[in-house]
Structure 1
């Protein structure tokens, strides 16, 4: 999702309520051993935003559960922090319902293609392991966390919602509850008429200048159709000489949660709660409904909620008023 599409979100987050206790934000760098050596040459050291709740600096013996939040496509963690109004919106959310303190962590997953897709690829690195192992391990060793599954939640918006679902399947032992907001890329996609234009690209700068959907195709191919024998981008695109490539489209499809979830039924059943939400005016609603139907069919208990809104216009509000209380109910604070 592009910065242009997200711009409207920034107007929603306001100042903290008068008198509310204030948390704080830190920006740290976490080395991702799981990202090192990726063929894109992208940095293995990643910026990470960390929200610390009121009292963290003074209550030295207290430990806290952690929410890991994955941002959307085409932007970075810095932009999402501003857009979501952190730390003030988290302060408000905790204060409004007298919620207990939580640490909230957001890694920067921006890549040369606009986003990592939170997948495991030789081209962009193993982002699944980075989130579930490298990042969780670092946070547990450097902050006063409750370092166990029952005290960790995973959430994300757009491609971050996709990442939430995907990482949960692969690493269910790391998190206890999931909240996917307006998740993208849940159902298989085929080649599009504009994909053939991408074959002409030969330089990274050309990719950076593409419209969001074009960059999404590059990011998806880097994540789901990597090819070490295809420099300079080290991926297979969904078309070749203008014709759809069935093998690449099949690899895309195999990485859609609608196709994946039946392979991970025991893992998905192990969570205390799974929440999916999507705006009725969001063009991604078809994929969300398809995953909802598939999960119902295979017996994975979850909640699927729709609301009046599009892909971006109510995300700050819903994070503050729904996501935080959801995790306050699901996470262990002891």
Structure 2
């Protein structure tokens, strides 16, 4: 029997047909134009539209943001024997287990690896991009219920950080949040990498950030133990402690030669810690229609402790929330996304 071409997709496990629609858009941002790093102002924007879109009415919108070094096309990556995140979202809404919602996947990549979804003199105005450009664009193009009461934000890791912080700072835009292992309790998740970074710079990059970036950009592959740790630390510094006098540069919270803390810079970082921010933004957090938190009990960056510390601050404020600590680490937890999206869809549904 000879091989012959047939019509249609091959089907699972290679291709799972969607009942809803998945749209890949390209947008041009005025806010990101001329950003300090010279990163692209033209960005991809992905939108999942549920099967019910043609039935009329308006829908909640849920915005999904990525972890550090994440770029939008990574949502289409497939792990062995598992659906992609987009396929999981389609399965969720096709099952009828929660109200339909429009799901928007937002790119906030920078050449330092990420933006933490906040405005920075070193990376650009990524919170403004999300809140003041992407959200109005989606509301103008799709049948969304265009108000904070029907709009939520979710993400993992740095995306989980953004999902906690952006609604505190912009409660006019988002009325519910869900965070998977979001960066929090900075002394637990960040401090251990400072002396590690000092050693890496000393042993591989002549103790120089300039040498690090020069060699990193020429490297054929990214080695996390050699490149990833310093890149993350510098990228976070560009967000939390930008060098206002040198746009595009960062002030580090430790001495490069010794790893010793630079207290005044570290204090700037702590001002951005969700655990420490929560008491200052109690009114904004109280206004959230739901707050969903989760993390693996073996998270390599101790973000299970960060989630618990953030939840404790919510408890002190008398704010209702959900906290789920599950068996697992920081990686391979894509299956958790639909749980958070469903939790948001149930409280944001305009129907």
User: TM-score higher than 0.5 here?
Assistant: yes
Q: 1:252 to 1:26 in 2, by over 3 A?
A: same
C-alpha distance in 2 between matches for 1:46 and 1:185: 28
Cross-structure match for 1:332: 349
Cross-structure match for 1:244: 261
C-alpha distance in 1 between matches for 2:71 and 2:43: 11
Cross-structure match for 2:208: 200
Q: Unaligned stretches of 5+ in structure 2? A: 1-11
Structure 2 residue aligned with 1:260, among 277, 290, 304?
Answer: 277
Instruction: Write the mapping of 1:165-180 to structure 2, written as runs, cut at 5 A.
Output: 165-180=164-179
Cross-structure match for 1:4: none
Larger Rg: 2
Q: 1:41 to 1:91 in 2, by over 3 A?
A: same
Cross-structure match for 1:218: 234
Cross-structure match for 1:111: 110
Alignment partner of 1:46 is 2:43: yes
Q: Provide the secondary structure at the position in 1 that maps to 2:177.
A: strand
Q: Provide the secondary structure at the position in 2 that maps to 1:28.
A: strand
Q: How far apart are 1:121 and its partner, in Å?
A: 0.3
Instruction: Write the mapping of 1:143-158 to structure 2, written as runs, cut at 5 A.
Output: 143-158=142-157
Cross-structure match for 1:292: 311
C-alpha distance in 1 between matches for 2:175 and 2:153: 8
Q: Unaligned stretches of 5+ in structure 1? A: 1-12
Q: How far apart are 1:228 and its partner, in Å?
A: 3.7
Instruction: Write the mapping of 1:59-74 to structure 2, written as runs, cut at 5 A.
Output: 59=55, 61-74=56-69
Q: How far apart are 1:43 and its partner, in Å?
A: 2.0
Q: How far apart are 1:96 and its partner, in Å?
A: 2.5
Alignment partner of 1:318 is 2:313: no
Farther off after superposition, 143-152 or 163-172: 143-152
Cross-structure match for 1:9: none
Q: How far apart are 1:16 and its partner, in Å?
A: 8.3
C-alpha distance in 1 between matches for 2:273 and 2:181: 15
Structure 1 residue aligned with 2:71, among 66, 70, 76?
Answer: 76
* Residues matched between the structures, number: 315
Q: Provide the secondary structure at the position in 2 that maps to 1:311.
A: coil
Q: Provide the secondary structure at the position in 2 that maps to 1:174.
A: coil
Q: 1:21 to 1:77 in 2, by over 3 A?
A: closer
